[in-house]
Amino acid sequence: MSGRALLLVTVAALGCNHSPRVNPAWRTVTAAQGLRGEHEATVNVQYGAGRFHLTPGTGDELYRMQLRYDENSFTPVREYDPATQTLHLGVKGRSGGIRVRSRHGDAPPSMDLALTPSIPLTLILEMGAVEADVDLGGLALHRATFRTGASSSHLRFARPNTAECEELTIEAGAAELHAEQLANSNCARVNFNGGVGEVTLDYSGTWRRSMTADVNVGVGSLKLKLPRSVGVSVHLNRFLASFDAAGFEKRGDTYVTSNFESAKNRLEMNVNASIGGVDVEWVNP
């Protein structure tokens, strides 16, 4: 588990409390910004606690965001630097930490974000204790990073990435994470670093190029959904972790599918698993 994810988990765990004395003052903020001739942009989203939802937006708006937050505890962040074409969105705690106060029956804080599919993006999503539903399909992603702390996250590429992506990095602390249709990401490299949790990495979708993947799992279960038509090799390094090798041939330390040499697209994985199990499910693309 990376240091940053651990920090997010710690902050979220320490910060989450229920204070009966101060009632939350809910505020809804809607913000939008049109495109001004940008050719690319870097988007950095930091969201500590609540529900997070990301989808592709319309072509002529850089972003559209709707926030619901407790203004006693948070302030919204909405900064755009036109010189570097960098956008910062999210909320930050007023006292520096993350405090979630809610009464029974209140809707949780939330953030709904739509990003432009018209220009290439470098996307950095940093989530704390968040229930995230992220659909990056249809965006033009150059590079993407998704970090999450103690959360339940669904990350998917419902449609193919319209740009060539160098790298997708997913870091999860203590999390339940399902990453679906990763082939649509069109990334040359897909990395995953997980601490504790239940993780599903689904490599289905439209394959347009070969991929490499570094998968590091601490404690927990890892399910790999691999398409049959893709040549897959798994270099496995495990400690007290099981591996379901059905469909693979073992060549030294590496498990290889029979079609690895002949396949048009290949997936080369380095898997490090400590305690838990690595399950493989074969799917049709």
Rounded to a whole number of angstroms, the minimum distance from the CB of residue 52 to other proteins is 18
Site for other proteins in 47-86 (CB under 8 A): 59-61, 66, 71, 78, 80, 82
Q: How far apart are CA 186 and CA 163, in angstroms?
A: 8
Length of the chain: 285
SS3 of 64-81: the string is: EEEEEEECCCEEEEEEEE
Size of the site for other proteins (CB under 8 A): 25
Residue number, 100 or 196, with CB nearest to other proteins: 100
Which of 33, 46, 102, 270 binds other proteins (CB under 8 A)? It is: 33
Q: Residue 103, interface with other proteins (CB under 8 A)?
A: no
Measured in whole angstroms, the distance separating CA 83 from the mean position of its chain's CA atoms is: 27
Q: How far is the CB of 60 from other proteins (least distance, A)?
A: 4
Does residue 25 bind other proteins (CB under 8 A)? yes
Location of structure tokens 């030294």: 252
Q: Is residue 107 close enough to count as binding other proteins by CB under 8 A?
A: no
For 55, other C-beta atoms within 10 Å of its C-beta total 18
CA distances from 73 to 163, 200, 246 (A): 38, 34, 51
Distance of CA 162 to CAs 45, 142, 256, Å? 21, 10, 30
Judged by CB under 8 A, the residue of 16, 29, 77, 188 near other proteins is 29
According to CB under 8 A, which residues from 109 to 168 bind other proteins? Answer: 118-119
Asked if 124 contacts 103 with a C-beta cutoff of 8 angstroms, the reply is no
* Contact flag: residue 211 with other proteins (CB under 8 A): no
> Which spans of this chain sit near other proteins (rule: CB under 8 A)?
25-39, 59-61, 66, 71, 78, 80, 82, 118-119
